[in-house]
Amino acid sequence: MCETACVARFRFALPIIAASSCLAQTGVLNLSRDLFNKGIAATNLAPNTPTLDARPLVEAAVAWAANNRISTIVADTGSYYFLTQHSPNQHVLVPAANYLTIDFQNSNLYFAKSNTAAIECQSCVGVTFQNFTVDYQQLPFTQATITAVDAASGKLTYQALPGWQSPADFGATRAPDGSDVIRMFVFRNGAPLSQVGRLVAARPGSGSTITVTNTTDPWASAASLAAIQAGDTLVFTDCGGPAAINVTSGQRVYIKNVSVYAAGGTAVQFARTSGVIADHLQVIPRPGTSRLISANGRGIVSTYALAGNSLTNNTVRRTCDDAVSLTTAWIATTVQVAGTNITVNRRADSPIANASISFINPSDASVVTSANVVSQNPLPASQTYTDGETITLTLDKAVSGVAAGMGVVDNDSAKRGNGSSVSGNLAQQIVFGSGVVLAGVQNVQVHDNLVQQTANAGILVRQ
């Protein structure tokens, strides 16, 4: 998955808000009419003004709402343009907001830079985003016409299309951390070419030839490449970067009636969240265009899923990876075993509690044994919570059968998606991926989903 490096980087303490404070928030702030009169900004956010940068105005309104008991931010219906970034990782940052609805009332939102989050919501509680579309002015992919194929050497020659970026325009990385990679797909008559799967390539130079580098994969072998013909369409993606809508470490965040038309990696992601709802979302190619794909990566994802998340009534079409997924991951990998002491390397920024854990054999996904963590060195307060950090865990007993390279998982079902649901979704024409994916979760309901034309499994369940 091309966005793995960008998952769940942030670790924040969630604020505790008294019920009376959220009930007191009742006002409405209109971005298009109230910013100037209330002294929030020097201008209102007028719709349909391509030279007006919406980003600082929206962020100023969110900050003002937090201090003035505003429960709802709205905008007049129209098109809005986000021309600058809050940081290299995102255009709009909504940090630690509480009990706030942001409603663009069926507007179109355009974001300047590809492979960067359009909206990121960090450590939010009770926040709703609704009624808008997301697209990028600089698309994270392009389309070109294949003019020649040298299957033996893995070389494709292309002709750039009018109105589209040339593959040569992707010579430099675009993701904030530089982790993005080039992945390509071949279409004929508007449909993926069945003999060819996901092709990996080096970044192109100034010429018009691209070399496929993953020719050991069966779907990229010389025999598979020989099925490509002059006149086929090459979809050239720069895959990576934060999700277009990225929700990290939140509770009860709702995203409703939102369409995402492009994403460098995942379209909509919830990372380490509980009680979130993704309802009536669309991840589809922009209607009325000749685009053949939507997201370069996955569609709608709840990753490192906590309890009570709902992914319901959504449509995901033409993503280049899994359509809908609800997953948790190993919190660490074992390095050394010495009696009751286990040395591990942390995975991502996963917290490790003094609680029950299990050890997973990666060769067959079986549970080797379980034990309780009684202490850690260094102490949790002194840990850095960075990927690969080395920690020594002291267990309540010696464990047998545990070796280096095994996975460590938390046995608390609330940290493994307990009570979550995936229902009423349509996953259709998935270019390279599965329809619905569950991994590492417990007590999750999956029902009433329609999955059609996937490259891989319809519904995939794994440890």
Q: State the chain's maximal CA–CA distance in angstroms.
A: 69
Q: Which residues contact 166 (CB under 8 A, 6 or more apart)?
A: 142, 144, 160
Q: 10 Å Cβ neighbour count for 410?
A: 22
Looking at this protein, which amino acid is placed at residue 253? Answer: V
3-state helix, strand, coil in the chain (%, to 5): 10, 40, 50
Q: What is the CA radius of gyration of the chain?
A: 23
The CATH number of the domain covering residues in 141-239:
2.40.30
Q: Which residues contact 327 (CB under 8 A, 6 or more apart)?
A: 301, 302, 303, 304, 305, 417, 437, 438, 439, 440, 441
- In the block, tokens 């940290």 appear at 415
**What is the H or E stretch that residue 65 is in?**
helix 54-67
Candidates 1.10.3470, 1.20.1300, 2.160.20, 3.40.50; CATH matching 4-138+244-327: 2.160.20
Q: Nearest-CA neighbor of 112 among 77, 144, 143, 88? A: 88
Q: Is 271 left (phi over 0), alpha (psi -120 to 50) or beta?
A: beta
Full-model pTM = 0.92
Q: 10 Å Cβ neighbour count for 2?
A: 27
Cα–Cα distance, 76 to 95 (Å, whole number):
24
Looking at this protein, which amino acid is placed at residue 11? Answer: R
Q: Nearest-CA neighbor of 156 among 107, 213, 95, 97? A: 213
- pLDDT score for 161: 97
Q: Which residues contact 289 (CB under 8 A, 6 or more apart)?
A: none
User: What is the residue-wise DSSP string for 136-175?
Assistant: ESS-SEEEEEEEEEETTTTEEEEEEPTTS--GGGG-S--S
- pLDDT score for 1: 59
Hey, what are 332's tokens?
């660490």
Query: What are the domain boundaries of the chain?
Result: 4-138+244-327, 141-239, 332-412
Cα–Cα distance, 169 to 195 (Å, whole number):
28
- pLDDT score for 9: 37
Beta bridge partners of 200: 183
Hey, what are 137's tokens?
């002015």
Segments in the chain below pLDDT 50: 4-24
Q: Nearest-CA neighbor of 272 among 16, 10, 1? A: 10
Strands 191-192 and 101-111 turn out to be unpaired
With contact defined as beta carbons under 8 Å apart, do 259 and 202 qualify?
A: no
Which three-class secondary structure state does DSSP give residue 60? helix
Hey, what are 238's tokens?
């720069």
The CATH number of the domain covering residues in 332-412:
2.40.10
With contact defined as beta carbons under 8 Å apart, do 126 and 153 qualify?
A: no
